[in-house]
Structure 1
Amino acid sequence: MNYRLFLPYLSLLALSLLLFSCDNENTNLIESPINLPIVRGLTVTPNLVDTDTIPWSGQRTPDDELTLHVNLSANAADVDGIGDIKSVRYQILKPASRAIIVQGELSLEPFPVPFSSAIPEAYYTADVSFKIKRVNVGNYTVEVYAVDKSNLTSNSDIHAVTVTRYSSDPVISDLAAPDTITLPPEPYSVVFFISLAVSDSDGIGDIAEVYFRNLDSPSDTNRKFGLYDDGLQNDEKYDTTAGDGIYMNRFQMPWNTLARTYRFEFVARDQLANISNKILHYVVVRQP
């Protein structure tokens, strides 16, 4: 008998047996389910804080450092039992930011019945304190999540704490600006100064910006020309004394500016976007 004739068939038979064996091995593998913990029912108390209601000795200013207190509570669950939960954690973020102000862990609340780590769900709480400046209002994000003993992380339950404050509108006055500007010869520019007094019952630190707009600009009537009270003198700013409530700056008008009457509208805005009274000033620009 010529055994060489059977070699291809023997090879196919061996390959088939190998594949059958591998297939049986794969079907015997059992994938363990991944049981992630779950956090739900987060509550934050209080969820609205008016910083001006916090007791304070002395005059209130926007830069006062305040301590806020909130209570967090949430349920954490795990099908493997709460004994599988390593920690339930929180973090509080600045408004419109991922910057963390404070973070920590919630504590498991005592059970009214004998404790069992096999119980699938439990109640966790934390008393949290964090510091902000009075002027730093907005929606602070509270995130709570759980981590199990396999370092698997749950969903994040998210809640907001709205921090606000009573704020009066800023007031502007005592505008000092030229009424008439005579254009220089080509190719020069004429330099002039503008100053404005700004006050705010919440303190000068509550002022976010002071500016004017040229309502008759041929290019952009919404452009803001800033006035400053920071004592800096450079290419963009000119102020003689920082923090005196007098906002000022230096400006240039080129020789080829269209000669006509322009309306300059002055306004101030505070940290809560409250707008001051407006002052409308007319400037006559004329040829030499």
Structure 2
Amino acid sequence: MNLRIKKIVLALFISSSILISVSCEKEFDTVIDVQKPSYQVVSVAPKDSVIFNVEDSSLVIKIEFTQSSLVNSVIAEIADPANKNFLNGNLTLFDNGKAENGDQTANDKLFSNKIFMKSNDLNGNYDVKFYVNENSGQSKLAAWSSFKYRNGQSNFSPIITDALVEPDTVVVTDTIAILTSLRVSDENGLNDIKEVYFIVYRPDGSTSGNKVFLFDDGNLLQNGDQTAGDGLYSRIISVNQTNAKGTYRFEFKAVDRGGLQSNIINYLVLIQ
């Protein structure tokens, strides 16, 4: 047993439980909040596909209200495809008629501001939440939208190597912890990796089709991952007496934010 596996086993004795969870990607559709008595949203933008333009990389974020709306100020919060704050803060929107803010007419209830996209920004869906500061002083979420960004760079498929299931032969007399791991690389950078997972096929060839996600988050206790961001994705799973005996096939894959899939690695695991 190598040093890495020893550390994992020690962590498992410390941890109170071994869990397998399946995460879901959040999806946002444009939602306009018309329930507030002091304002009514007419439209938000952008909400379509955006392609990087080397001559003008500006992108106008805007929200329009009815003329009767009572709005003091508006800020936007933008999350990138990795669900991180894209601007490391909030974007103030203006209704001042200044071109530098992407606003055409002052005091027309259309609040705007520009951001500047870069060729190395992540491909994928960006989520925008609009918060209104009402004349009463309250700040409320008014609407949100999403747009799909393409940075104009050639997209390369991720590559997976060094798949590991340890141990890969198990005599089950009690609940047994199994470490799974996989190394992932991508010419577009690790930030371009959307998901890394495996699907389990039972001894009879059947499968639920559920993805078991691996993580590169440095969470040793929960996922068995030692170092965040090093391209080695890991996950701890468990088997017990209820698992059917025989040879299981673990099918490993990775997918990038442009939807390109990696090569496939199949790993056989014997449960006795």
TM-score, reference length from structure 1: 0.50
Matched, 1:50 2:62: no
1:75-104 residue CA offsets vs partner (Å, 9 max, x unmatched):
9868xxxxxx9989665454799x994343
State the Cα distance separating 1:194 from its structure 2 match. Answer: 2.5
* Gap change, CA 1:92 and 1:163, over 3 Å in 2: farther
2:93 alignment partner in structure 1: 104
2:35 alignment partner in structure 1: none
1:265 alignment partner in structure 2: 251
- Contact kept, 8 Å, 2:156 with 2:260, in 1: the verdict is yes
Letter of the 2:165 counterpart: A
* Gap change, CA 1:49 and 1:226, over 3 Å in 2: closer
2:25 alignment partner in structure 1: none
Matched, 1:284 2:263: no
- Contact kept, 8 Å, 2:62 with 2:93, in 1: the verdict is no
1:218-237 alignment to 2 at 5 Å? 221-234=208-221, 236-237=222-223
- Contact kept, 8 Å, 1:183 with 1:254, in 2: the verdict is no
Distance 2:209 2:163 in 1: 20
Distance 2:214 2:127 in 1: 31
Which of 148, 157, 168 is residue 156 of structure 2 equivalent to? 168
Matched residues, number: 210
Unaligned residue ranges in structure 1 (runs of 5+): 1-35, 56-66, 79-84, 110-121, 152-157
2:182 alignment partner in structure 1: 196
1:1-288 alignment to 2 at 5 Å? 48-51=49-52, 53=53, 68-70=58-60, 92=76, 94=78, 101-107=90-96, 128-130=113-115, 134-135=121-122, 137-138=124-125, 162-166=147-151, 167-177=155-165, 180-184=168-172, 187-216=173-202, 221-234=208-221, 236-286=222-272
Distance 1:75 1:226 in 2: 42
Unaligned residue ranges in structure 2 (runs of 5+): 1-37, 99-106, 137-142
When Rg is computed on C-alpha atoms for both structures, the one with the higher figure is: 1
- Contact kept, 8 Å, 1:265 with 1:278, in 2: the verdict is yes
State the Cα distance separating 1:177 from its structure 2 match. Answer: 2.9
TM-score, reference length from structure 2: 0.53
* Gap change, CA 1:90 and 1:279, over 3 Å in 2: same
1:102-153 residue CA offsets vs partner (Å, 9 max, x unmatched):
34332359xxxxxxxxxxxx9787762237892374365697x9x9xx99xx
SS at match of 2:94: strand
Distance 2:240 2:257 in 1: 34
The sequence identity of aligned pairs, in percent, is: 22
